[in-house]
Structure 1
């Protein structure tokens, strides 16, 4: 199971829990591209801290693939312009 899904389930189960709140802030900061206080990660137990690291790694990888897909789309558009001219 991907880390993002694990966190979603954790937040859904106990949204008021401190761990769920930390993960909620982390996810929102990634989505909105705003600052997140790293010191909040140190409030997590070891397993949840590792889950947060997994979230960051997945998020970075997903952004890479999203950028790659956009580049592929632009490349296809550029090639189709050349073929129609």
Structure 2
């Protein structure tokens, strides 16, 4: 299974988990070309850290466009869930 698909499944399974939040933030940062604190990756357990590295490799290759879009969609949803203050009117 490709890292993009593994990450999507992990995020969909438990979007509130620390690993899902970190991977989602990474995906959103990669897509939007915004900074991402690499120190966040060191907080992941070994398997999730390896998944993040594989995700970076696949993202760079950019071969799996459909999988990338699905993962991005799920990641944006998790990112929006983490920021409820951004969706409430001031």
TM-score, length basis structure 1: 0.72
Give aligned pairs, total: 64
User: 2:60 & 2:24 partners in 1: Cα distance?
Assistant: 17
- Relative contact order (C-alpha < 8 Å, sep 6+): which is higher? 2
CA distance in 2, matches of 1:34, 1:21: 16
Structure 1 runs not aligned, ≥5 long: 67-85
Q: Which residue of 1 aligns with 2:30?
A: 30
TM-score (norm: length of structure 2):
0.68
Runs of 4+ more than 6 Å apart: none
Higher-Rg member (1/2): 1
The SS at the match of 1:15 is coil
**Over aligned residue pairs, what C-alpha RMSD do you find?**
1.4
Q: Which has the higher helix share?
A: 1
For structure 2, the residue ranges without an aligned partner over 5 or more in a row are 66-90
SS of the residue corresponding to residue 57 of structure 1 reads helix
CA–CA separation in structure 2 for the residues paired with 1:55 and 1:41? 12
State how 1:37-48 maps to structure 2 within 5 Å: 37-48=37-48
